[in-house]
Amino acid sequence: MKAIETRLPGVLLLEPKVFGDARGFFLESWNRQTFAELGLNLDFVQDNHSRSSKGVLRGLHYQLNDPQGKLVRVVSGSVFDVAVDLRKSSPHFGQWVGYELSADNQRMLWIPPGFGHGFQVLSETADFLYKTTAYYAPQWDRGVRWDDPAIGVQWQLDCAPTLSAKDQVLPLLQDAEVFP
Protein backbone atom coordinates (compact mmCIF):
# COMPACT_ATOMS: atom_id res chain seq x y z
CA MET A 1 0.00 0.00 0.00
CA LYS A 2 1.34 3.37 -0.98
CA ALA A 3 0.18 6.38 1.04
CA ILE A 4 0.34 9.78 -0.66
CA GLU A 5 0.05 12.80 1.63
CA THR A 6 -2.30 15.53 0.48
CA ARG A 7 -2.12 19.25 1.20
CA LEU A 8 -4.50 18.61 4.11
CA PRO A 9 -2.57 16.88 6.90
CA GLY A 10 -4.23 13.60 7.83
CA VAL A 11 -6.05 13.11 4.53
CA LEU A 12 -4.26 10.39 2.57
CA LEU A 13 -4.62 9.17 -1.00
CA LEU A 14 -3.98 5.42 -0.91
CA GLU A 15 -2.82 3.22 -3.75
CA PRO A 16 -3.09 -0.50 -3.01
CA LYS A 17 -0.82 -3.05 -4.61
CA VAL A 18 -2.79 -4.59 -7.46
CA PHE A 19 -1.85 -8.05 -8.67
CA GLY A 20 -3.29 -8.67 -12.13
CA ASP A 21 -3.05 -11.15 -14.95
CA ALA A 22 -5.23 -12.44 -17.78
CA ARG A 23 -7.81 -13.69 -15.25
CA GLY A 24 -8.36 -10.29 -13.62
CA PHE A 25 -6.86 -8.77 -10.47
CA PHE A 26 -6.55 -9.02 -6.71
CA LEU A 27 -5.94 -6.28 -4.17
CA GLU A 28 -6.20 -5.79 -0.43
CA SER A 29 -8.45 -2.85 0.30
CA TRP A 30 -8.07 -3.21 4.08
CA ASN A 31 -5.44 -4.89 6.20
CA ARG A 32 -5.13 -3.77 9.83
CA GLN A 33 -1.39 -4.45 9.97
CA THR A 34 -0.62 -2.66 6.70
CA PHE A 35 -2.61 0.39 7.75
CA ALA A 36 -0.95 0.39 11.20
CA GLU A 37 2.43 0.45 9.46
CA LEU A 38 1.20 3.61 7.69
CA GLY A 39 0.36 5.11 11.10
CA LEU A 40 -3.37 4.46 10.74
CA ASN A 41 -4.48 2.40 13.74
CA LEU A 42 -8.11 2.20 12.75
CA ASP A 43 -11.10 0.33 14.10
CA PHE A 44 -13.90 0.26 11.54
CA VAL A 45 -17.41 -0.36 12.82
CA GLN A 46 -19.57 0.08 9.71
CA ASP A 47 -19.23 -0.70 6.00
CA ASN A 48 -21.47 1.19 3.54
CA HIS A 49 -22.24 0.87 -0.17
CA SER A 50 -23.99 3.48 -2.28
CA ARG A 51 -24.83 3.48 -5.98
CA SER A 52 -25.43 6.75 -7.77
CA SER A 53 -26.04 7.93 -11.33
CA LYS A 54 -24.02 10.39 -13.40
CA GLY A 55 -24.34 13.94 -12.18
CA VAL A 56 -25.35 13.01 -8.63
CA LEU A 57 -23.48 15.03 -6.04
CA ARG A 58 -23.56 13.92 -2.40
CA GLY A 59 -22.26 16.13 0.35
CA LEU A 60 -20.58 17.84 1.96
CA HIS A 61 -21.44 15.64 4.98
CA TYR A 62 -20.01 15.00 8.45
CA GLN A 63 -21.07 13.84 11.87
CA LEU A 64 -20.59 16.50 14.54
CA ASN A 65 -20.45 14.32 17.67
CA ASP A 66 -18.75 10.94 17.50
CA PRO A 67 -17.24 12.01 14.15
CA GLN A 68 -16.51 9.39 11.55
CA GLY A 69 -13.23 8.67 9.86
CA LYS A 70 -13.93 7.25 6.40
CA LEU A 71 -11.96 4.98 4.09
CA VAL A 72 -13.62 5.45 0.69
CA ARG A 73 -13.26 3.69 -2.64
CA VAL A 74 -15.07 3.09 -5.91
CA VAL A 75 -15.61 -0.44 -7.22
CA SER A 76 -17.60 0.44 -10.34
CA GLY A 77 -17.42 3.68 -12.31
CA SER A 78 -15.70 6.88 -11.18
CA VAL A 79 -16.28 9.83 -8.87
CA PHE A 80 -14.64 13.09 -7.95
CA ASP A 81 -14.16 12.72 -4.20
CA VAL A 82 -13.69 15.70 -1.86
CA ALA A 83 -12.58 16.21 1.75
CA VAL A 84 -12.92 19.60 3.52
CA ASP A 85 -11.23 20.52 6.80
CA LEU A 86 -14.01 21.62 9.16
CA ARG A 87 -11.93 22.01 12.34
CA LYS A 88 -12.03 25.69 13.38
CA SER A 89 -8.75 25.28 15.26
CA SER A 90 -6.95 24.00 12.14
CA PRO A 91 -4.78 26.30 10.03
CA HIS A 92 -6.41 24.51 7.05
CA PHE A 93 -10.02 25.25 8.11
CA GLY A 94 -12.28 25.51 5.07
CA GLN A 95 -9.68 24.12 2.65
CA TRP A 96 -10.40 21.13 0.43
CA VAL A 97 -8.73 18.42 -1.62
CA GLY A 98 -10.32 16.39 -4.39
CA TYR A 99 -9.29 13.31 -6.36
CA GLU A 100 -10.79 11.04 -8.96
CA LEU A 101 -11.44 7.62 -7.49
CA SER A 102 -12.40 4.90 -9.92
CA ALA A 103 -12.64 1.19 -10.50
CA ASP A 104 -9.79 1.67 -12.98
CA ASN A 105 -7.29 3.52 -10.76
CA GLN A 106 -8.22 1.54 -7.59
CA ARG A 107 -7.30 4.53 -5.41
CA MET A 108 -8.81 5.05 -1.97
CA LEU A 109 -9.03 8.14 0.20
CA TRP A 110 -8.65 8.20 4.00
CA ILE A 111 -10.69 11.06 5.46
CA PRO A 112 -10.09 11.47 9.21
CA PRO A 113 -12.67 12.67 11.72
CA GLY A 114 -13.11 16.46 11.60
CA PHE A 115 -13.50 16.63 7.83
CA GLY A 116 -16.54 17.01 5.62
CA HIS A 117 -16.90 14.64 2.70
CA GLY A 118 -18.68 14.62 -0.63
CA PHE A 119 -18.46 13.18 -4.10
CA GLN A 120 -19.72 13.76 -7.61
CA VAL A 121 -20.40 10.85 -9.97
CA LEU A 122 -18.47 11.16 -13.25
CA SER A 123 -19.47 7.87 -14.91
CA GLU A 124 -22.94 6.64 -15.93
CA THR A 125 -23.19 4.97 -12.51
CA ALA A 126 -20.78 4.47 -9.63
CA ASP A 127 -20.66 2.03 -6.75
CA PHE A 128 -19.05 3.76 -3.79
CA LEU A 129 -17.87 1.81 -0.72
CA TYR A 130 -16.78 3.29 2.57
CA LYS A 131 -15.79 2.03 5.97
CA THR A 132 -16.40 4.25 9.00
CA THR A 133 -14.75 4.47 12.41
CA ALA A 134 -18.01 5.44 14.17
CA TYR A 135 -21.59 4.36 13.74
CA TYR A 136 -23.96 6.61 11.85
CA ALA A 137 -25.83 8.83 14.32
CA PRO A 138 -28.59 10.75 12.51
CA GLN A 139 -29.00 13.25 15.36
CA TRP A 140 -25.41 14.45 14.71
CA ASP A 141 -25.60 14.37 10.91
CA ARG A 142 -24.52 17.76 9.54
CA GLY A 143 -23.44 19.24 6.24
CA VAL A 144 -22.18 22.28 4.38
CA ARG A 145 -23.34 23.44 0.96
CA TRP A 146 -21.53 21.77 -1.90
CA ASP A 147 -21.16 25.10 -3.72
CA ASP A 148 -20.13 27.31 -0.78
CA PRO A 149 -17.90 30.04 -2.32
CA ALA A 150 -15.93 30.28 0.95
CA ILE A 151 -14.72 26.71 0.34
CA GLY A 152 -14.59 26.92 -3.46
CA VAL A 153 -14.56 23.25 -4.43
CA GLN A 154 -13.84 23.00 -8.14
CA TRP A 155 -16.33 20.29 -9.01
CA GLN A 156 -16.11 18.73 -12.48
CA LEU A 157 -19.59 19.82 -13.54
CA ASP A 158 -20.92 20.02 -17.08
CA CYS A 159 -24.50 20.64 -15.88
CA ALA A 160 -26.38 21.29 -12.64
CA PRO A 161 -25.80 18.41 -10.20
CA THR A 162 -28.55 16.15 -8.91
CA LEU A 163 -28.87 16.76 -5.15
CA SER A 164 -30.93 15.18 -2.40
CA ALA A 165 -33.58 17.34 -0.71
CA LYS A 166 -31.32 17.43 2.36
CA ASP A 167 -28.28 18.60 0.40
CA GLN A 168 -30.30 21.37 -1.29
CA VAL A 169 -30.81 23.15 2.04
CA LEU A 170 -27.46 22.67 3.78
CA PRO A 171 -26.00 25.85 5.33
CA LEU A 172 -22.98 27.80 4.20
CA LEU A 173 -19.78 27.21 6.17
CA GLN A 174 -20.18 30.52 8.01
CA ASP A 175 -23.54 29.33 9.40
CA ALA A 176 -22.73 25.65 9.96
CA GLU A 177 -21.97 23.84 13.18
CA VAL A 178 -18.38 22.69 12.81
CA PHE A 179 -15.67 21.09 14.92
CA PRO A 180 -13.73 23.12 17.53
Q: Which residues are catalytic?
A: 61, 130
Listed residue (32, 37, 89, 79) closest to 55, CA to CA:
79
- Start-to-end C-alpha separation, the chain: 32
The rounded Cα 1 to chain-centroid distance in angstroms is: 18
What DSSP string describes 68-110? PPEEEEEEESEEEEEEEE-BTTSTTTT-EEEEEEETTT--EEE
Residue 56 pairs with which residues in a beta bridge?
A: 162
What DSSP string describes 154-169? ----SSPPB--HHHHT
φ, ψ of residue 165 in degrees (nearest 5): -60, -40
- Helix-strand-coil split of the chain, %, nearest 5: 10, 45, 45
